[in-house]
Amino acid sequence: MKKYLSMAVLCMSLLTACGNNDKNEEVNSKKIVKSNQQEVSLDLVLPVSFKTVKKRSKSFDQLHFYFSKEIIYTLKIMNEKDEIVLDHETTKYANENQYNLGLKEKIDYGVYNYVLEVSTKDDIKKTYEGSFEKKLELLYEGTKKITDISLSDNEELIYVAEQADSYGESAKLYSISLEDKTKNDIVFTDSPLSIYDIEEYKGKLFIAGMGTNLLMSKNLVTNEEENIFKDIQCSGYGCYSVFSIKKYKDSLYIGTDKGLYKLSDDNTIVKITDHLLDADEIIKSLYVDSKGYLWITSMDNAGVSYFDGTKWTSLADKLSSGGYIDIVEGDNGDYWLAGNTSGLTKYNINDKSIKTYTPYNSDILDHNIISVAYNGKVIVGSHDYGFSTFDKSSWLKYDKSNTLITGMTSDMCYSNCAPIQVAERMIQGKDKNVFVVVSKSLFKIH
């Protein structure tokens, strides 16, 4: 017990030095609301924390609280309607306390409030109040790295692309029902070696990626397939990858490692060169905002531009150098850009202001941000450390320490490799639910 207590005190010191922002789940512990003494030597060693853990084949939601003295406690947990959903009382004294929520029936996703009343052997009594949020639901666990996800037009299905079992084989593609999690294989006779983007467009399912078959389509009614890019050589040495596809107005825009292209209704493909970036720029992502603007981000030269339907505007002279991998619209004209070396950048389209978050000036989890979403809070994914949420004032981290996220070994590492938690892709539904891929797992963020 002394060993664990000393470790807890050490952790408390480290967390205090770091601003204590690396919380396990979204837990807000208020100050003591009542006590039977003016000054008492009973303190929380670490903040109350919520986490989801897996033991063998079962998962548990847990509340953890650690005190400077042995305590017994009563715990009441209420939902957002202030209804008591759990009521628990202990009789065994302990410093470190862990309560498994929902042993009889799992608690649903949402925000909960709690009242924790504690007592010591020397009759010190204190009451703590706070809240926590259960928000991460595991939808699917693959066997290999998931490279992309996309919602169907009716948002009843989510498409999932997974790496092939071995080199030279085609990538795997599934659809998963968001109602009952039923999984169905989607078979292409020819497909990219790795699938980087998926899009439904005019009754067809398009998949884009790397390899000989860069962009394929399948008619969702007749199952007829077509190799869209077979006659396109791009320029120079040709295209080797299609990174992104996005329907915009009456065309499908295509981001490649050799510039931006457009597939029109008449099945003609033309190269777009007036986007104010280099003609052969690596176009990493495409995004359509609520105003109907088309945004493109590039891996080179701080390349970000947007098209308002008439003209292009470039942000390349305003942003930090390095590539930008993803973009999402926030509130009040804010746009959030995921930089692969420069962290997270907020650009406001109204006043043209820019603010960048890095590990040097904030508690963001990494400088290498590869995915971003927005559901009232900014959600950023890193290449190594899972993902975190940002409410404009504090960061909350989600990784294998407090969720069902698991790590995987990088394909680029060959010996003594530590597992990484790659938040490869995030997408948003119309109801602002966010879906995120971390390594081999697909989650829904409520």
**pTM of the predicted model, to two decimals?**
0.86
* 135-161 per-position pLDDT tens digit: 999 999 999 999 999 999 999 999 999
Strand partners, 287: 295
What is the distance between the alpha carbons of residues 212 and 242, in angstroms, rounded to a whole number?
A: 11
Residue 9 backbone dihedrals phi, psi, to 5 degrees: -65, -40
Decide if domain 138-445 falls under CATH 2.30.40.10: no
* 89-102 per-position pLDDT tens digit: 999 999 999 898 87
Q: Which residues contact 251 (CB under 8 A, 6 or more apart)?
A: 262, 263, 264, 265
Q: Which residues contact 410 (CB under 8 A, 6 or more apart)?
A: 417, 420, 422
What is the distance between the alpha carbons of residues 125 and 119, in angstroms, rounded to a whole number?
A: 4
How many C-beta atoms lie closer than 10 Å to residue 396's C-beta?
23
Of the candidates 104, 27, 34, the one whose C-alpha atom is nearest the C-alpha of residue 63 is 27
Q: Which residues contact 98 (CB under 8 A, 6 or more apart)?
A: 62, 63, 64
Q: How far is CA 77 from CA 35, 256, 357, in A?
A: 20, 51, 35
Give the CA-trace dihedral at 290, 295, 297, 303, to 10 degrees: -130
Q: Which residues contact 184 (CB under 8 A, 6 or more apart)?
A: 174, 175, 176
Domain residues of the chain, as ranges? 2-134, 138-445
Q: Which residues contact 222 (CB under 8 A, 6 or more apart)?
A: none
Residue 130 backbone dihedrals phi, psi, to 5 degrees: -170, -170
Fold of the 2-134 domain: Immunoglobulin-like (2.60.40)
Strand order of the β-sheet with 324-329 is 324-329, 334-339, 343-348, 354-357
Encode burial over 16-48: b for 16+ CB neighbours within 10 A, e otherwise.
eeeeebbbbbbbebeeeeeeeeeeeebebbbbb
pLDDT tens string, the chain, 446 residues long: the values are 434 434 443 333 433 333 333 334 445 554 444 555 445 578 899 889 999 988 777 888 999 999 999 999 999 999 999 999 999 999 999 999 989 887 666 789 999 999 999 999 999 999 999 999 999 999 999 999 999 999 999 999 999 999 998 877 889 999 999 999 999 999 999 999 999 999 999 999 999 999 878 999 999 999 999 999 887 767 666 788 999 999 999 999 999 999 999 998 888 899 999 999 999 999 999 999 999 999 999 987 768 999 999 999 999 888 888 899 999 999 999 999 999 999 999 999 999 999 999 999 999 999 999 999 999 999 999 999 999 999 988 999 999 999 999 988 766 565 667 789 999 999 999 888 899 999 999 999 98
Which residue pairs, CB below 8 angstroms and at least 24 apart, start in 334-339? 335/289, 335/295, 336/372, 336/374, 336/378, 336/380, 337/297, 337/304, 337/372, 338/369, 338/370, 338/371, 338/372, 338/380, 338/381, 339/367, 339/369
